[in-house]
A and B are shown apart, each in its own frame.
Chain A
Amino acid sequence: ETGVTQTPRHLVMGMTNKKSLKCEQHLGHNAMYWYKQSAKKPLELMFVYSLEERVENNSVPSRFSPECPNSSHLFLHLHTLQPEDSALYLCASSQDVGGDEQFFGPGTRLTVL
């Protein structure tokens, strides 16, 4: 595997479910990111991790809970989501935070019923 991978690629969940999105990067990078892309809106940065430490949380509701167990893996835990949380969730990585090119995974398309 090369680059940035994400699983699952599609997810349908009810508002009371708990699910997790997984991201893995095979680039030896130190920084990882979660983005949200809603219909008709620009991509929004949600969380930034550098060497497993969260460095940014851009006012994201607590029903989204990130976890970075090591510099290659990033999770987004989801619970009690709302229908308006339906979106494409994209993971990215870069060598370090700041001044480096970001590389994106294919995304998880989430539908909340």
Chain B
Amino acid sequence: GIQVEQSPPDLILQEGANSTLRCNFSDSVNNLQWFHQNPWGQLINLFYIPSGTKQNGRLSATTVATERYSLLYISSSQTTDSGVYFCAVEISSGTYKYIFGTGTRLKVLA
């Protein structure tokens, strides 16, 4: 089946630093989302980005579907950015599948 791998698995940043999180997937997908899971378990939608580039404040994302990867950029990180970042991909070929990556655990230090 399709593999969704995220890197790095863990990341520690000083407040104000920039970072890039990567999501690689092994097959063609219909769409891709980025989420931030806060310490209470809530998944917060960041981007719905099957292709192209989007920006929302300090966050931006780029998906290159033909090369099977997506990047999430966090600029000027804040302590509230801490948590786990997931990418998830959707496949609809016969059966419906929505597969989450293993996540990147981010800790931003004050």
Q: Do A and B come from one complex?
A: yes
Residues of B within 8 A of A33 (CB): 98
Which single residue of chain A is at the shortest CB-CB distance from B95?
A56
Q: SS class of chain A's interface: helix, strand, loop or mixed?
A: strand
User: Interface residues of B toward A: which range?
Assistant: 20 to 34
Q: SS class of chain B's interface: helix, strand, loop or mixed?
A: strand
Number of A interface residues in the complex (CB < 8 A): 22
Of the listed stretches A11-19, A42-50, A63-71, A76-84, chain B binds: A42-50
Whether A48 pairs with B86 at a CB distance below 8 angstroms is: no
Whether B102 pairs with A99 at a CB distance below 8 angstroms is: no
Assembled-state Cα–Cα distance A88/B38 (Å)? 13
* Number of A-B residue pairs with CB-CB distance less than 8 Å in the complex they form: 53
- A42/B98 contact (C-beta < 8 A), A98-B30, A101-B48, A104-B42 known: no
Residues of A within 8 A of B35 (CB): 104
Whether A97 pairs with B96 at a CB distance below 8 angstroms is: yes
Decide yes or no whether B18 CB sits under 8 A from chain A.
no
Residues of A within 8 A of B43 (CB): 90, 104
Assembled-state Cα–Cα distance A22/B48 (Å)? 26
A interface residues, Cβ below 8 angstroms from B: 33, 37, 42-45, 48, 55-56, 88, 90, 97-104, 106-107, 109
* Besides the known contacts A33-B98, A88-B41, A99-B90, 8 further A-B residue pairs in the complex with CB atoms under 8 A apart: A42-B101, A42-B102, A45-B97, A56-B95, A98-B96, A99-B31, A104-B45, A106-B42
